[in-house]
Amino acid sequence: MDGSGTAALMRGMIALTEAQEFVLAGCRAAEPVGVAVDDAYGLVTSAAVTSTEAVPPFANTAMDGFAVRSVDTESAPRRLDVVATLAAGAAPDVTVGPGQAVRIMTGAPMPPGADAVIMVELTELAEDGASVEIAQSVPAGNHVRGAGEDIAPGDKVFAAGTALSAGHLGVLASLGNYEVQVHPRPRVGVISTGDELIDGPGALAPGQIRDSNRHTLLALVAETGAEAVDLGLVADDEAAIRRAIADAPTRVDALISSGGVSMGAFDYVKVVLDELGDMRWMQVAIKPAKPLAFGLVGSMPVFGLPGNPVSSMVSFELFARPGIRQMMGYREPHRQRLSAVAATDLRRHRDGKTHFARVVAEPGGDGRYRVGFAGGQGSHQLHAMATANALAIVEDGDGVPAGEPVDILLLR
Ligand code: AMP
Ligand code: MG
């Protein structure tokens, strides 16, 4: 272990990975349920999906044109008799015989007898519609989409653990699977604590500030795909905090609070959570967001995030978001770590902690992002966090000089 690691341990801090593992161990994937396809966007399948139908269900034409016997086109240019017209949705009621063609629209089933389609641009229909001039020969199968060419009955379409994107929902609908087995969307409650906080446009009395954390955290929860539930603003009052936390399991599956987890004299969140739940209070070797409480009240995971606005957002990114994603069944709940390049010096001082700098990441020509500070790096300077689209992971030391590699977590 290097000197800074030892120093960190001496100050009672634990490594980020240890804190993250502890949090994830308390966040179990919710019991699977059947969810309507239209409610399943962003949810994760709990079982493999197997097809019972073919897609497409029948051979059909990929083009507007004429369904023909390919042998009849070998002597093109040539005139064929038009014996029917088939629109999408119509069932074929004629067989294409020698010297015959059926006028056909994209998506219509191939009529029996025909084995190819010649597109309308290569044909000329007679004025009376009774015959058509074919300009070119076409091979068998030309512009024909075979039955089951996309998905065959019995195909394993998606594995368990698939995060459902828009395309996945379309596939499920095309198979007639209007309900899918998934881990349900957890309801995640958010409370703010602090006597200094007010909500609303009124003038601030001396010492007051406006509650910003609840608004950012509700949006961050929604962004994970969970259902965000506003559980309000709670004063630094032991009884009020107890009521809010004790009531939470009736309304939500997980709870996020901000504020009141530091060493202050009125940090009652700590007192109440210790009484109601099985909590661990951590000092994580990171900056911002060193203090973190995590534990269970009954079976409900509770994230006690620090009150400083930037700290609460960074803490959400590093702990709450992965916890929520794991509850949703995501197999890889952490954000992807990318290798980037410092565009300017990312200076810091040695303090035994890993710094998560708020940076703006812009694509570089070599496919790696170039990153620079998004603004002031104080844990109260939310503006830089709002401007940032990434967190740069600046390890303990003097920082990363311009031009040197640095890993980032891309936030959006
Ligand atoms: P605490 O963690 O309660 O000691 O709060 C640390 C700092 O964050 C203090 O300056 C608080 O006023 C501030 N703070 C706490 N909660 C919020 C909030 N919901 N919105 C904005 N600032 C907050
Ligand atoms: Mg406070």
Mutate to test the pocket of ligand 1, among 191, 192, 256, 258 (most ligand atoms within 8 A of CB): 258
Give the burial class of 78: count Cβ atoms within 10 A of its Cβ; 0-12 exposed, 13-18 middle, 19 or more buried. middle
Of 51, 67, 49, 50, nearest to 148 (Cα)?
51
DSSP 57-80: SS-EESSSEEEE-GGGGTT-SEEE
Q: How far is the CA of 95 from the centre of ligand 1 (A)?
A: 77
User: Of the candidates 231, 238, 243, 156, which has an alpha carbon nearest to the alpha carbon of residue 199?
Assistant: 231
Pocket test for ligand 1, best of 198, 199, 209 (most atoms within 8 A of CB): 209
Give the pLDDT of residue 57. 97
Alpha helices in 122-209 (DSSP H): 166-174
> Which amino acid, 253?
D
Distance CA 148, CA 157 (A): 12
Closest by CA position to 211, among listed 193, 227, 228, 223: 193
Q: Which pair of tokens denotes residue 83?
A: 């014996």
Indicate the DSSP class of residue 273.
H
Contacts of 114 (CB under 8 A, 6+ apart): 67, 68, 69, 96, 101, 102
Report field, pTM of the whole predicted structure over 0.85: yes
Q: For the CA atoms of the chain, what is the radius of gyration?
A: 31
Max Cα–Cα distance, the chain, nearest Å? 95
Ligand 2 centroid from CA 210, angstroms: 13
CATH number of 60-145: 2.170.190.11
Residue closest by Cα to atom 5 of ligand 1: 307
Q: Please tell me the CATH code under which domain 337-410 is placed.
A: 2.40.340.10
Contacts of 247 (CB under 8 A, 6+ apart): none
Quote the ligand 1 centre to 266 CA distance (angstroms).
12
Q: Find the 268 Cα to ligand 2 centroid distance in Å.
A: 9
Element (H, E) at 218: helix 213-224
Q: Hey, what amino acid is at 14? A: I
pLDDT at residue 263, as a whole number? 76
Query: Which residue puts its alpha carbon closest to atom 6 of ligand 1?
Result: 307
Q: Which of 337, 405, 348 is nearest to 373 (CA)?
A: 348
**pLDDT for the residue numbered 6:** 52
For the CA of 233, the closest atom of ligand 1 is 19
Asked if 125 contacts 18 with a C-beta cutoff of 8 angstroms, the reply is: no
In eight-state DSSP terms, residue 264 is -
pLDDT at res. 7:
58
Length of the chain: 412
Pocket test for ligand 1, best of 191, 199, 213 (most atoms within 8 A of CB): 213
Ligand 1 binding site (Cβ under 6 Å of any ligand atom): 192, 194, 196-197, 209, 211-214, 258-262, 264, 306-309
Task: Please check whether residue 109 is in contact with residue 86, taking contact to mean a CB–CB distance below 8 angstroms.
Answer: yes
Written as six digits, the tokens of 112 are 């029996």
CATH number of 3-30+184-327: 3.40.980.10
Q: Are 105 and 86 in contact (CB under 8 A)?
A: yes
Cα distances (Å, whole numbers) of residue 180 to 57, 97, 150, 153, 250 = 21, 45, 20, 17, 26
CB count within 10 Å of CB 369 equals: 22
Q: Residue ranges of the domains in the chain?
A: 3-30+184-327, 33-55+149-183, 60-145, 337-410
Amino acid occupying residue 205: A
- Domain 33-55+149-183 classification at class level: alpha beta
| Tens digit of each residue's pLDDT, the chain (412 residues) | 444 555 555 568 999 999 999 999 999 999 999 999 999 999 999 999 999 999 999 999 999 999 999 999 999 999 999 999 999 999 999 999 999 999 999 999 999 999 999 999 999 999 999 999 999 999 999 999 999 999 999 999 999 999 999 999 999 999 999 999 999 999 999 999 999 999 999 999 999 999 999 999 999 999 999 999 999 999 999 999 999 999 999 999 999 999 988 778 888 888 899 999 999 999 999 999 999 999 999 999 999 999 999 999 999 999 999 999 999 999 999 999 999 999 999 999 999 999 999 999 999 999 999 999 999 999 999 999 999 999 999 999 999 999 999 999 999 9
Residue with token string 């698939």: 162
